[in-house]
Amino acid sequence: MSRERSAIKNRLNGLPLFWKVYGFIVGLLIFVVALAEFILEPIAEKMLAGLYGGFQPWHEVVIWAVSILIPSLACGYVLSKILSLKLGKMAKAAKALARGNLEIRLPVTNNEADAFDVLAQTFNEMALAIKTQRQYGRRLLADISHELRSPLTRMSVAAGLLSRRHEPEEREALLRRLEKELERMNELVSTLLLQGSDKGEASRAMEPIGINDLLLELADDFAFQGKTLQKDVLLDAAGGLTIYGNAALLQRMLSNLLANAVFYTPEHSTVDVTARIDKENVVIAIRDYGPGVPEEQLEEIFRAFYRVDSSRARASGGVGLGLALAREAAIHHGGNIVARNAGPGLLVTVTLPLHADAKDE
């Protein structure tokens, strides 16, 4: 018997709000009708019999009408209050969302039979989608701003040298450098925008990549970038280094690591880059000779927007994205990236499998 009661109770709890209120109204009406039938009617009949000599049919109609109207109005009032309360909460949440509170959520019970609960779930999904889009927009802006810094720096160096060079060959080389950096800026913006679109997966297609050629090109770029401060990039890479990866992501990863190293290495010094094969992996090491990073913060520097509170961060003007982007690219290729103090300077080591399968970040 207790099982039957429990089953009935569970069924009732799963009913939508409308049917619960409707059942309450019907039950109340039955109770009132029974009350009128067995209690009120005999009393009314005796009272009216003395006045009119009998109980007329229209009197009975009035009694029945009153007995139905009063509980109906009461139930309608209760139902309107319940609906107003729920709608009021939704309206309040919608206003908060419109004012920029992206954390606002409505309570849900996961009862698909309840229309209000389904509406609350839909509202929460909408709020989450808006929050995600807002975060993507901010991250995209930060990514584009960060990625354009290195090409813009090289363009500034080229423009400065161009104004002081008069030999046709040198001017021609500097003009080619400017043209190359403009093309690279256009490709960077296009790639970043594409990664946020429906074609983002296609933009991360994996293919054989020659690490030697990629490192040689980037070492030349950043050696040129550090030219005015007498900073050089020294490359020592084993021959035939080819991995299966995404060219755009690998270029961004190595570019960010080199930009970081060139910035922090002192004037009249170098950035050392090595690349070698270790079993089934390619290991790339990039070392600067700057101030290094406090030991307790070595793991934190790969978090997005994290900046070391030391001389490594105060002068950069960056937002703390370079190493985070590099880490995302390494993870996408099934590899990893670690940093340690080399005394002096910071040594960043990237390990990438020769045959990587793309992974979700």
pLDDT at 343 over 70: yes
**The domain spanning residue 228 has which CATH number?**
3.30.565.10
Q: What value, to the nearest 5°, has the Cα angle with vertex 356 and ends 350 and 359?
A: 90
In a domain, 194, yes or no: no
C-alpha span between 41 and 39 (Å, rounded): 6
C-alpha span between 359 and 350 (Å, rounded): 16
Measured in degrees and rounded to the nearest 5, phi and psi for residue 287 equal: -125, 130
What's the pLDDT tens digit per position in 195-227? 554 444 545 678 888 888 889 888 888 888 777
Q: The domain containing residue 89 runs over which residues?
A: 2-109
Residues counted in the chain: 361
In a domain, 66, yes or no: yes
pLDDT at 41 over 50: yes
Is 337 in the same domain as 223? Answer: yes
Q: Average the pLDDT over 281-286 and give the result.
A: 94
In a domain, 237, yes or no: yes
In a domain, 95, yes or no: yes
Is 213 in the same domain as 359? Answer: yes
Residues 106, 89: contact at Cβ < 8 Å?
A: yes
pLDDT at 352 over 90: yes
Residues 63, 55: contact at Cβ < 8 Å?
A: no
Last residue of a domain, one of 55, 88, 109: 109
Is 360 in the same domain as 235? Answer: yes
Listed as own residue / partner, the contacts of 237-240 with beta carbons closer than 8 Å and 24 or more positions apart are 237/211, 237/212, 237/273, 237/274, 237/275, 237/276, 238/275, 238/276, 238/277, 239/212, 240/212
Comparing 137 with 275, the larger pLDDT belongs to: 275
C-alpha span between 277 and 359 (Å, rounded): 22
**In 169-301, which ranges are E strands?**
207-210, 232-237, 242-245, 270-278, 281-287
Is 104 in the same domain as 220? Answer: no
What burial class does residue 22 get, using C-beta atoms within 10 Å of its C-beta: 0-12 exposed, 13-18 middle, 19+ buried?
A: middle
Last residue of a domain, one of 64, 92, 109: 109
In a domain, 89, yes or no: yes
Last residue of a domain, one of 72, 91, 109: 109
How many distinct structural domains can be found in the chain? 2
One DSSP character per residue, 229-253 reads: GT-EEEEEE-TT-EEEE-HHHHHHH
Model pTM score: 0.54
In a domain, 145, yes or no: no
Is 101 in the same domain as 226? Answer: no
Is 360 in the same domain as 213? Answer: yes
Taking CA atoms, 212 is separated from 239, 274, 336, in Å, by 7, 10, 19
Catalytic residue among 59, 146, 332, 355: 146
**Coil, strand, or helix at residue 134?**
helix
What's the pLDDT tens digit per position in 224-267? 877 777 888 899 988 788 888 888 889 888 988 998 888 888 98
pLDDT at 331 over 60: yes
Is 222 in the same domain as 343? Answer: yes
Is 360 in the same domain as 219? Answer: yes
Residue with tokens 């090491």: 285
C-alpha span between 258 and 273 (Å, rounded): 9
Q: Considering only CA atoms, which of 126, 68, 117, 67 is closest in space to residue 94? A: 126
In a domain, 65, yes or no: yes
**pLDDT value at position 25?**
62
In a domain, 187, yes or no: no
Residues 179, 162: contact at Cβ < 8 Å?
A: no
pLDDT at 125 over 50: yes
Is 338 in the same domain as 213? Answer: yes
333 catalytic per annotation: no
Is 215 in the same domain as 348? Answer: yes
Is 98 in the same domain as 214? Answer: no
| Per-residue pLDDT band at 161 (split at 50, 70, 90) | confident
Is 101 in the same domain as 220? Answer: no
